[in-house]
Structure 1
Amino acid sequence: MAQTHRLAEGGLIDRSRTIEFTFDGRRYEGHPGDSLASALLANGVHFVGRSFKYHRPRGIFSAGVEEPNALLQLGENPRTDPNQRAPQVELHGGLDAHSQNAFPSLKFDLGEINRLFSRFMPSGFYYKTFMWPSWKVYEGAIRRAAGLGQAPEQPDPDHYDKTNAHCDVLVVGTGPSGLAAALAAGRSGARVLLVEQDSELGGSLLSSEREAEIAGQPAMDWVKAARAELESLPDVRILTRTQCFAYYDHNFLGLLERVTDHLPQAERPAHLPRQRFWKVRAGHVVMATGAIERPLVFRDNDRPGIMLASAASAYVNRYAVKPGKRAVLFTNNDSGYAAALDLKQAGLEVVAVLDARAEPSGPLTERARETGIPIKAGRVVTGTKGRFRITALTHMALDKDGKSVSGQAEEIACDLLLSSGGWTPSVHLFCQSKGTLHWDHELSCFRPHESMQKAQGVAGSANGSFGLGRCLAEGHAAGQAAAESTGHNTSTVGEVANSEDRGFLPIRELFLVPSDKPVGAGGKHFVDLQNDVTAADLLLALREGYSSIEHVKRYTTTGMGTDQGKTSNVNAIGIVAEQFNATVPEVGVTTFRPPYTAVTFGVFAGRDVDELLDPARITPMHSWHVNNGALFEHVGQWLRAWYYPREGEDLRTAVSREVKATRDSLGILDATTLGKIDIQGPDAAKFLNLVYSNAWSKLQVGRCRYGLMLKEDGMVFDDGVTSRIDENRYIMTTTTGNAAQVLAHLESYLQTEWPDMQVYLTSVTEQFATMTIAGPNSRALLSELADFDVSTEALAHMGMTTGKVAGVPARVFRISFTGEMSYEINVPARYGLAVWEALMLSGEKYGITPYGTEAMHVLRAEKGFIIVGQETDGSVTPIDLGMDWIVSKKKDFIGRRSLSRPDMLKEDRKQMVGVVTSDPKEVIPEGAHLVESSAGHPPIPTVGYVTSSYWSPNCGHSIALALVKGGRARKGQTLYANLTDRNIACTVTDSVFFDKEGERLHG
């Protein structure tokens, strides 16, 4: 299709090349340098979408990130991307775009029927409407109707990267103030990172009239020279196509770089990511983020063909596109006239300027008069006509109070209506950094307060300085201050690049343009175009009692779309203020939260997807387990050997063999995955005394102790054995799946509750390979390979020693999780496999048998030992587990106070007990609920549930551990495991099933 609305000359596009793209299946042409929005406008396409709630026709409204209307779906599955702002999408060959929120087509949309019922669909209507008979009746249909675009249904084939960067000075924005700041800081020798969301440097200069000059040369020539100088400086880095979307504490900022989005799919290098997430720590931040033009809110202000005045200038000057043929400008300030002048110079017919001011004045106003542009003072738009494009508007005289109109309504035929209601500094990042704002009544905008955070600055339009000369001066000063604050000599920063200022005062504050009918009647005054929020919706929220602007925002959803209220928030605040007869600062602003613009989920994930999302951790002996037929289970990211089936063995047979071999002679377990934390410092013993429920002050060097760790609510958090290596050093073991949480728990208390303690924690889980040998012949095996005495007198139960095992330096702990005589051998991880193989070779004469986690569970359950996370669920105390013996009565510890609460001492709390089935061969499924009677129909009251259940080859029957209400008083009582198809009779017993006296433990 021909580019019917392309100017014959001008613009920053490459006319030597033509690019083909499609929109809604129709083929169009554009040029390199075009955005998708400018290319559509060049082809005469303005109507591109339907609104969120009412499905009203919507057109291209802006030329930047503030776009609320032109949200398009790009590409096809699996590379489809919804809600992409057309002005920000760079045109490239093969680009395939689709309109959203329309069925079956953009022009014939069945959803448009919503317009007929719009009076019954104000903000919050769903809260009141969909109550009877149940929300669930409507939920499916409402969820299907919600949203705009469609998320991809297939896995994303692209990849994303994350990277970290440090710099002395981060400059956000490359308009005149940003470039001036970067030049000043860069010339001082500071490490500067300059970030620009656009593909080109220049900011507003890219779209301004060509007559603008800086330092005696055309503005864009100055931009090119500035870029060349910055690129020549060794410590300056420029990132284009990069959005600074978040400003966190301590000058930590998030950037999204669009690395290959602007390239055709076939031309994207395979080694490059689609996008990159930059995590930047800056010594000083200069925010030169510019300002966004604010629209005027008049009746039916949402038709295609209505756009911001500054956007029209951008399309004419930067893209050489005529956004219409007959244009009308509606403004309340002098800056809007720049667009009228730009359009007239480009050959468009500027029918009139409707200026809400009674006596328009200003340098641009005078230029407009000189060029013959008709100006109608004191007039406002009171309505528009047209369906898929504006065809006419009506205007009337604005009364002095600004709240009503009078006189005869006049109509003007037009296909383009430009709106200019003043400017809103882009303060999102500044506010995210906890900066505060103040209201500038003269400029009618929120500006950064002078008392800003340390190590940051705001310059140019973002600071409410709208003249070109002032922007350059402020940018230069901010860059110089940033360099000085980071310790650099600023004697070489040079002079400020001078330029003439061009203000736009005076402005007539006008947040809601009155019409000849009351608000909400005969048309809609849209405040938030993306969410279809009208002025009537805001007034309704106030009548409903929502007085806080934060509550009004949530009730109406104004400012909650992907544009985050960039064009709507100030108008909404102003309307609320006028309704309350209050000032704008009295109403206040809503909270600015990251991200500034929408960010893909993929960039946060980076390479951490699929296997890398939850990587499998393996022990040094993993290859041996694989070669010997082990099957594995995932435990806290670790791949642990589950059991070692021989030919013809199922799970039960193999586990029974492993269990019997360990009890009868010798078993070996890979226990490397246990969490290990090195604890050092003069306050280490005192610290352990506080984090464990039992006493630790008198533990001797070379001895080990089992400990139970509680949370503040008194519930069991973790357990493990901790050994005293020397006077001020301990090694703590934790459960495999809880290692990271335990370390975080300990660090949290050291940093917040006991910061004066001299205790230092280091995770050493991966530094050591651990193998446990257990069984009657474990001492005999160890004595053959150890160069130290392993007798009971030298190494008693709960003792530890150091020496060499199989010629490798080792720590050996005599501790047991099986009830058998056991030794845990810790060696440097690189020797793990060698020592394991030496143990297996020497242990052949004893019938050494490797056993996995399932056999380990059986062995410990036979002895009634708990596993945290299996016998506990966050609601279990040590007393519930029958472990009151490990709770000190003499010292304080985390959770102690909670244990004394009356509810913790009730006799009907769930307590750990043993359970054996009436049929010895039947194994109760884990998790089965226990009930008192086998009769009755659901729901049947439960008295507890089974936490662990196994077949025990040593007991000759099944065994189970359970949490049962008042369980210890129920011993000998018959309960029933309630399953879907049957009940299993069982008897409550003691939780220790094997070797009750513990004779085997000591050997």
Structure 2
Amino acid sequence: MSGWRLPSGGAIDRARPLGFTFDGRQFEGFAGDTLASALLASGTRILGRSFKYHRPRGLWGMGGEEPNAIIDVTDAGVTTPNLRATLVPLRAGLEARSVNASPTAERDCWAVLDLLHRFLPAGFYYKTFMAPDWMRWEPSIRRMAGLGRLDPGNRPPADAVPMNARADLLVIGAGPAGLAAARAAARNGRAVWLVEEAPAIGGALRWRGGAIEGADWEAFAADTAQTVEAAGGRVMTDTTLWGAFDHGLYAAWERRAGRGDRHWRIRAGEVVLAAGALERPLWFANNDLPGVMSAEAGLHYLSLYGVAAGRRVLVACANDAPYAVAGALAEAGAQVTLADARADTPEAPEGVRLLRGARISRARGTREVGAADVDGAHLDVDTILCSGGWTPTVHLFCQAGGKLDLDARRDALVPRPGTAPMQVAGAANGAFGLQAALDEGHRAGGGTGPAPRAAAAADWAVMPMRPDPASGGRQWIDLQNDVTFKDVKLAAQEGFRSVEHLKRYTTLGMATDQGRTANFAGLAALAAVTGRSVEETGTTTYRPPFAPVPFPVIAGPRRGELFNPPRRLPLEPAHRDLGARWRDYGGWLRPATYGEGDEAALAQAEALEARQAAGLYDASSLGKIEVIGPGAAALVDFCNYVRMSTLEPGRARYGFMLSESGVVHDDGVVLRLAEDRFLVSASSSHTASVRLMLEEARQDRFDPRQVFVHDVTAHWTTLTVTGPGARELILGAGIAEEVAALRFMRVAETAWRGVPLRAARVSFTGDLSYELSVPARHGGMLMQALDGARAAVGACWIGLEALMILRAEKGFVLVGKDTDGVTMPQDLGWTGPREKRTDEYLGRRALFTPEARRADRRQLVGLEAEGEALPVGAHAVPLEGQRRSLGFVTSSHMSPVLGRPIALALVEAGNDRLGQEVGIFHLGETRRARIVPACSYDPEGTRRDG
């Protein structure tokens, strides 16, 4: 019990006490407190347990860098796991519970694991649990792993709103550098977005204070905010900018208590990163004991919340920054000793005992700090405030592709100019003094003339501090994941000398704090044990998110029925009037069958009527992607397995699009409407990915000014008429004779009743078919005309279930159903382009690998069997010998026109097995089936011309 509340001071409202609980115990804080400051004021030291050894851990920091005080918080009946106590505003009735502890952090039964630490070094799990069988250990390990507990009853409200914005200048961080940058840019008339993670602007000025331009810093901050907003900009507090992405896109989480959070996607013309720096720990024996804290955090809690971290305080450092901390604590009534590792230091603050050239070597105590060893001397202290230097907050800079260099004078890894599309200013750039930060921010914001002047302009002097390989005891590098200096030495000894290997072998820097306090220490430790410099050792990779972001915030309203809402046909009401029954097909809500009764029987009847007379179905969901411009033919050729540039205008051709691995991604018909205009038809579920493939190739391989890609799916309604009576039906609907006379794979653009009409003679059923497309707003008129003409030919509307029967009878492929993640075009019988094309196209190289040339690849074939339809997914197996999978059934139906079951399957070396019998194994039973060609109906194709 060491922390205590001063009788006055801080930015809290002492007239509003707030009751809360921690691990079942009742506490009291004040409005304006955080959970961390209230617990510190209560004298509670043990706030959590470390991940591996379950050692007691206390408060270290003041923000998102906090590695120890991870708490499950229940507020208003909603439990949110793994929150940092430093970032949780205190509210009345809040219930907090420590994580990774049973039953409480104070009395954790798993603390016994620390007694076994000699047998649990880094990497022990890789070696120990492989024998006799990992699966034997996995359930127990999974039960022990993890931090907080999810509340199954927690259903976060869908109140997070996705927002999009643009800014002339985005300034990340509202400390001195960020304020100076925003002020300079706004004075030049630029729209500035100033984003700050804390609940108020000012950065370290909020607890360190300072005078700028002859007045208190608060006046400077208020004037900056007013200037930004007057120029059309925005100042956002309680907002975490968590990710930097390609093309100038930045993602931010804005917290708005009681009003619904917002998730911002911001595109900025320019960016200034002014995110400050994090104080590093020092490395000495038992440096993880509760009561060891960041020195800057000590000043933060004292100034903002009126809470002193301890009564007998040792401040250990090798830089100038903690002198203000020591002085403030002494003024507040604490007994303060300042141990500075430098021989040449500033003068001691009033009331502070200064030890020059003194280093701390050990913290003493069993459950919390009770003393410290400094150069062999025993000091009676209850709190140790450490400052091992400063690590610039460069995560977003590195996410944007930036590289780092070691600045020896500041002992910090600082951004290398020109390696990322942003400017960096202030402490994030290694400028730790107030005036230096204001100067850099002013320049970054495009300021002209002198920068704002600070009353205290001196920069902080810093002496490098490093882990001592010869030092005894357990020195903790990563507090949350229990990585010690000895673990780093062991990793290097076992050959893991790359920082990325060290990270994965020891889990250093992989905790939820993303190594904010551990990464530099880990690099320094690895450099020390391998005899290299920090530059030679290298740095790890930072990835989004910069800070944990709740899934509901990113998801926004995309949850429940809105998670992936089905797309709807423009003519849905008309289909409902016809008695359509609906299902989700490839993300689209489409008619499965029409009418009342058994769905399978309805599908059979519709398919038979379509074969005997005519069928109509709505094909509006098929993707329609226009590729336009002088480079259109080259782009379509590159993205297709089948060459399309040889098409004449007014003609169509079927083909495949492949992934880079040569796997069939989609199939469809390409229409050439003019020399410089193609229409790429995509499967309903693949339209978005096909467009992205075309767009990626357009931007990466072709001149984007010569070719353009537009998804026009939603602009057109497409109705298909198929069957022997199709020609008569469209003539009865008043469609022009020139459309009815179209030959197979021909296209016509004409007009019908004054409306643009595009007609294509393509077929997904194998029968005479016309795809008729009109602008979406005129789709109802076309549907009404076709429906009025169907009775004369005995036609019916057919749903997707009947259509699947018709296409399976012809052996037509449905990509994703009749293909899997390794199917290549030659597996479907399409070998011509691979053998004849010599130009480059997407996926070409993969088609000539040894894997692609294997003779036993699974190939698409048909199956004939007696009795009921074969089950989809059933495995083809040998009839004799050891049972193994030769492939599986992909599509299976009863054919109403053939009067027997038909099926498609991917079978190993299927074409070489034509005529052979195989077993079809399903749910313990085996049936016989004969392998036949995929097309089971009209193999000569005589029906497609009517």
Instruction: Give the TM-score normalised by structure 2.
Output: 0.94
Q: Which residue of 1 aligns with 2:69?
A: 70
Q: Within 2, Cα distance between the matches of 1:900 and 1:469?
A: 63
Write out per-residue CA displacement over residues 495-545 of structure 1, whole angstroms, 9 at most, x where no aligned residue: 52332224443x44332268xxx65x6x42112211111111111112112
Q: Within 1, Cα distance between the matches of 2:813 and 2:516?
A: 57
Contact 2:3 2:310 in 1 (8 A): no
Change over 3 Å in CA distance of 1:143–1:214 after alignment to 2:
same
Structure 1 stretches of 5 or more lacking a match? Answer: 261-267, 398-408, 482-489
Q: Match for 1:956: what amino acid? A: G
Contact 2:477 2:521 in 1 (8 A): yes
Q: Which residue of 1 aligns with 2:931?
A: 988
Q: Within 2, Cα distance between the matches of 1:585 and 1:901?
A: 41
Contact 2:2 2:309 in 1 (8 A): no
Write out per-residue CA displacement over residues 45-96 of structure 1, whole angstroms, 9 at most, x where no aligned residue: 2321111111111111122222111111111697322222212222233322
User: Does 1:423 pair with 2:390?
Assistant: yes
Change over 3 Å in CA distance of 1:11–1:974 after alignment to 2:
closer
Q: Which residue of 2 aligns with 1:486?
A: none
Q: Within 2, Cα distance between the matches of 1:319 and 1:278?
A: 31
Change over 3 Å in CA distance of 1:37–1:771 after alignment to 2:
same
SS of residue paired to 2:40: helix
Alignment length, in residue pairs? 944
Q: Within 2, Cα distance between the matches of 1:663 and 1:500?
A: 89
Write out per-residue CA displacement over residues 17-40 of structure 1, whole angstroms, 9 at most, x where no aligned residue: 222322223332222222211111
Deviation for aligned residue 1:924? 1.0
Q: Within 1, Cα distance between the matches of 2:213 and 2:928?
A: 94
Q: Within 2, Cα distance between the matches of 1:495 and 1:876?
A: 64
Q: Which residue of 2 aligns with 1:264?
A: none
Q: Match for 2:357: what amino acid? A: G
Contact 1:908 1:965 in 2 (8 A): yes
Alignment of 1:630-645 (within 5 A): 630-645=580-595
Q: Which residue of 2 aligns with 1:681?
A: 629
Between 767-776 and 710-719, report the one with greater CA deviation.
710-719
Q: Within 2, Cα distance between the matches of 1:286 and 1:756?
A: 30
Of 333, 354, 361, the match for 1:382: 361
Contact 2:121 2:487 in 1 (8 A): yes
Write out per-residue CA displacement over residues 600-629 of structure 1, whole angstroms, 9 at most, x where no aligned residue: 222222222222221211112222333333
Q: Which residue of 2 aligns with 1:5?
A: 4
Q: Match for 2:282: what amino acid? A: L
Alignment of 1:678-827 (within 5 A): 678-694=626-642, 696-711=644-659, 714-755=662-703, 758-789=706-737, 794-805=741-752, 808-827=755-774
Of 511, 514, 535, the match for 1:585: 535
Contact 1:704 1:799 in 2 (8 A): yes
Of 882, 890, 893, the match for 1:947: 890
SS of residue paired to 1:480: coil
Q: Which residue of 2 aligns with 1:263?
A: none
Q: Which residue of 2 aligns with 1:484?
A: none
Q: Which residue of 1 aligns with 2:807?
A: 860
Deviation for aligned residue 1:102? 0.9
Deviation for aligned residue 1:966? 4.1
Deviation for aligned residue 1:297? 1.0
Contact 2:827 2:857 in 1 (8 A): yes
SS of residue paired to 1:339: helix
Q: Match for 2:409: what amino acid? A: E
Q: Which residue of 2 aligns with 1:927?
A: 873
Change over 3 Å in CA distance of 1:892–1:941 after alignment to 2:
same
Change over 3 Å in CA distance of 1:887–1:621 after alignment to 2:
farther
Q: Within 2, Cα distance between the matches of 1:251 and 1:697?
A: 36
Write out per-residue CA displacement over residues 183-229 of structure 1, whole angstroms, 9 at most, x where no aligned residue: 22211211111111111121111111x6x433233334444454455
Of 508, 511, 515, the match for 1:558: 508
Contact 2:290 2:369 in 1 (8 A): yes
Instruction: Give the TM-score normalised by structure 1.
Output: 0.88
Q: Within 2, Cα distance between the matches of 1:767 and 1:703?
A: 22
Contact 1:174 1:288 in 2 (8 A): yes
Q: Match for 2:765: what amino acid? A: T
Of 254, 258, 261, the match for 2:255: 258
Write out per-residue CA displacement over residues 524-579 of structure 1, whole angstroms, 9 at most, x where no aligned residue: 21122111111111111121122222322222222222222222222322232232
Alignment of 1:130-145 (within 5 A): 130-145=129-144
Q: Which residue of 1 aligns with 2:560?
A: 610
Between 805-814 and 553-562, report the one with greater CA deviation.
805-814
Q: Match for 1:295: what amino acid? A: P
Of 476, 479, 484, the match for 2:442: 476
Change over 3 Å in CA distance of 1:972–1:227 after alignment to 2:
closer
Between 826-835 and 456-465, report the one with greater CA deviation.
456-465
SS of residue paired to 2:150: coil
Contact 1:977 1:984 in 2 (8 A): yes
Q: Within 2, Cα distance between the matches of 1:941 and 1:843?
A: 50
Change over 3 Å in CA distance of 1:436–1:886 after alignment to 2:
closer
Of 617, 623, 627, the match for 1:669: 617
Of 289, 300, 312, the match for 1:303: 289
Q: Within 2, Cα distance between the matches of 1:745 and 1:689?
A: 13
Change over 3 Å in CA distance of 1:737–1:477 after alignment to 2:
closer
Contact 2:401 2:420 in 1 (8 A): no
Pairwise CA RMSD of aligned residues? 2.8
Q: Within 1, Cα distance between the matches of 2:926 and 2:776?
A: 49
Contact 2:439 2:451 in 1 (8 A): no
Between 102-111 and 693-702, report the one with greater CA deviation.
693-702
Change over 3 Å in CA distance of 1:300–1:587 after alignment to 2:
same
Contact 1:672 1:770 in 2 (8 A): yes
User: Does 1:501 pair with 2:443?
Assistant: no
Q: Match for 2:105: what amino acid? A: L
User: Does 1:448 pair with 2:448?
Assistant: no
Q: Match for 2:398: what amino acid? A: C
Change over 3 Å in CA distance of 1:387–1:956 after alignment to 2:
same
Structure 2 stretches of 5 or more lacking a match? Answer: none
Q: Within 2, Cα distance between the matches of 1:94 and 1:721?
A: 64
Q: Within 1, Cα distance between the matches of 2:704 and 2:218?
A: 58
Change over 3 Å in CA distance of 1:940–1:175 after alignment to 2:
same
Q: Match for 1:215: what amino acid? A: E
SS of residue paired to 1:47: coil
Alignment of 1:111-190 (within 5 A): 111-154=110-153, 155-190=155-190
Deviation for aligned residue 1:4? 8.8
Of 312, 337, 340, the match for 1:355: 340
Q: Within 2, Cα distance between the matches of 1:324 and 1:94?
A: 27
Q: Match for 2:464: what amino acid? A: E
Q: Which residue of 2 aligns with 1:1000?
A: 943
Deviation for aligned residue 1:118? 0.9
Q: Match for 2:45: what amino acid? A: H
Q: Within 2, Cα distance between the matches of 1:147 and 1:327?
A: 34
SS of residue paired to 1:472: helix
Q: Match for 1:416: what amino acid? A: T
Deviation for aligned residue 1:299? 0.8
Deviation for aligned residue 1:243? 1.8
Contact 2:168 2:192 in 1 (8 A): yes
Q: Within 2, Cα distance between the matches of 1:361 and 1:137?
A: 58
Contact 1:632 1:639 in 2 (8 A): yes
Between 6-15 and 881-890, report the one with greater CA deviation.
881-890
Please tell me whether Structure 1 or Structure 2 has the larger radius of gyration of its CA atoms: 1
SS of residue paired to 2:782: helix
SS of residue paired to 1:80: strand
SS of residue paired to 1:1000: helix
Of 462, 478, 481, the match for 2:428: 462
Between 112-121 and 854-863, report the one with greater CA deviation.
854-863
Q: Within 2, Cα distance between the matches of 1:709 and 1:288?
A: 46
